[in-house]
């Protein structure tokens, strides 16, 4: 078992991008963060800036853990760090999976995860969600970090625990990973069975709930409002239609609380019609 107190002390000097909070560790830093220097994200007008886990903690940032439903925890930060994602801890009888990773780790996050049995695997839905994944891995006996091979060029820190993957598979019994593409080529969803016996889909940015979870949408870039094509959205919808799920959570606080499969299909059809020009007479 790793010495977590030592790991957390060492984390103080762990460098992250001040904009997206994706880790870069202690090695030589690039001129600009590869995650932000991309049309899906942004580099501030003031230029690239770096911070560390220690500076974030000194500034008062802390992790916040909440139960979203039995067997599913949200791990976020207050005040928000980077783009403010909420990671998801899937708790199962066979081990736990951290899906999407905060840009911060502290004693509270480690204690909350440890009290529920630790980590068997870490998965980011896409590169914006890498956070400080190597630190969470080290805090829990070098838990494997699964990175979609299609997105590996965006990985700033190649920790020893990283494992590249391509094919859909069960990362643990009852927790299935599939790459749906779209937002990133390797954009990944995780499907598991909730405590009530119905399916739960963790969708990252691949499928993004709208207000009150009545609709979802699909974009290449959310901050820059770059759309996906009709063909790609149809492909994503057809792929997830093969999965049995009732609820859907994104990588922030968005949720489709019921009937999520039907909401995805209905929203995808609406999207396809609009970007294909079917309703141009209404514009």
DSSP symbols for 29-90: PPSS-TTTSSTTS---TT---EEEHHHHHHTT-EEEEEEEETTEEEEEEES--TT---EEEE
Of all residues in the chain, what percent carry a pLDDT higher than 70?
99
**Mean per-residue pLDDT for 26-47?**
96
Q: What is the pLDDT of residue 2?
A: 52
* pLDDT for res 5: 74
Long-range pairs, 267-274, Cβ under 8 A, ≥24: 267/210, 267/215, 267/216, 267/217, 268/216, 268/218, 268/233, 268/234, 268/236, 268/237, 269/237, 270/215, 271/217, 271/218, 271/230, 271/233, 272/230, 272/233, 272/234
At 9, the pLDDT band (50, 70, 90 cuts) reads confident
Q: What are phi and psi of 160, to 5 degrees?
A: -60, -25
Dihedral over alpha carbons 159, 160, 161, 162 (to 10 degrees): 60
- Render pLDDT for 104-151 as a digit per residue (tens, 0 to 9): 999 999 999 999 999 999 999 999 999 999 999 999 999 999 999 999
pLDDT at 7: 78
Tell me what pLDDT residue 124 has.
Answer: 98
Question: Considering the chain, what is the average pLDDT of its residues?
Answer: 97
pLDDT digits (tens, 9 = 90+) for 44-87: 999 999 999 999 999 999 999 999 999 999 999 999 999 999 99
**Record: fold of 1-165:** Metallo-beta-lactamase; Chain A (3.60.15)
pLDDT confidence tier of residue 10, bands split at 50, 70 and 90: confident
Beta bridge partners of 247: 200
Neighbours of 78 (CB within 10 A): 12
For the chain, domain boundaries: 1-165, 175-278
Does 175-278 match 1-165 at the fold level? yes
pLDDT tens per residue, range 147-161: 999 999 999 999 999
CA distance 126 to 113: 22
Residue 1 in this model has a pLDDT that exceeds 50: no
Contacts of 230 (CB under 8 A, 6+ apart): 271, 272, 275, 276
| pLDDT, average across residues 229-250 | 98
Q: Which CATH number fits domain 175-278: 3.40.50.970, 3.60.15.10, 2.40.30.40, 3.40.1180.10?
A: 3.60.15.10
């Amino acid at each position: 078992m790793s010495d977590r107190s030592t790991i957390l002390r060492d984390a103080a000097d762990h460098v992250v991008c001040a904009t997206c909070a994706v880790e870069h560790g202690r090695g030589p830093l690039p001129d600009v963060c590869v995650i932000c220097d991309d049309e899906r994200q942004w580099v501030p007008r003031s230029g690239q800036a770096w911070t560390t886990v220690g500076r974030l903690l000194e500034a008062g940032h802390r992790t916040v853990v909440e139960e979203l439903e039995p067997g599913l925890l949200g791990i976020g930060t207050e005040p928000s760090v980077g783009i403010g994602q909420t990671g998801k801890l899937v708790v199962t009888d066979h081990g736990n999976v951290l899906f999407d990773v905060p840009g911060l780790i502290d004693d509270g996050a480690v204690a909350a995860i440890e009290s529920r049995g630790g980590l068997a695997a870490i998965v980011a839905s896409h590169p914006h969600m890498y956070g400080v994944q190597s630190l969470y891995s080290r805090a829990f006996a070098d838990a494997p970090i699964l990175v979609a091979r299609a997105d590996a060029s965006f990985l700033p820190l190649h920790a020893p625990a990283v494992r590249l993957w391509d094919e859909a598979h069960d990362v643990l019994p009852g927790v299935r990973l599939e790459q749906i593409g779209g937002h990133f080529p390797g954009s990944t969803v995780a499907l598991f069975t909730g405590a009530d016996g119905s399916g739960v889909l963790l969708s990252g940015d691949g499928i993004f709930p709208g207000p009150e979870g009545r609709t979802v949408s699909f974009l290449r870039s959310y901050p820059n409002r770059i759309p996906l094509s009709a063909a790609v959205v149809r492909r994503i919808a057809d792929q997830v239609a093969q999965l049995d799920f009732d609820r859907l959570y994104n990588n922030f606080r968005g949720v489709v609380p019921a009937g999520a499969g039907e909401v995805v299909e209905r929203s995808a059809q609406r999207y396809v019609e609009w970007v294909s020009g079917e309703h141009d007479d209404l514009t």
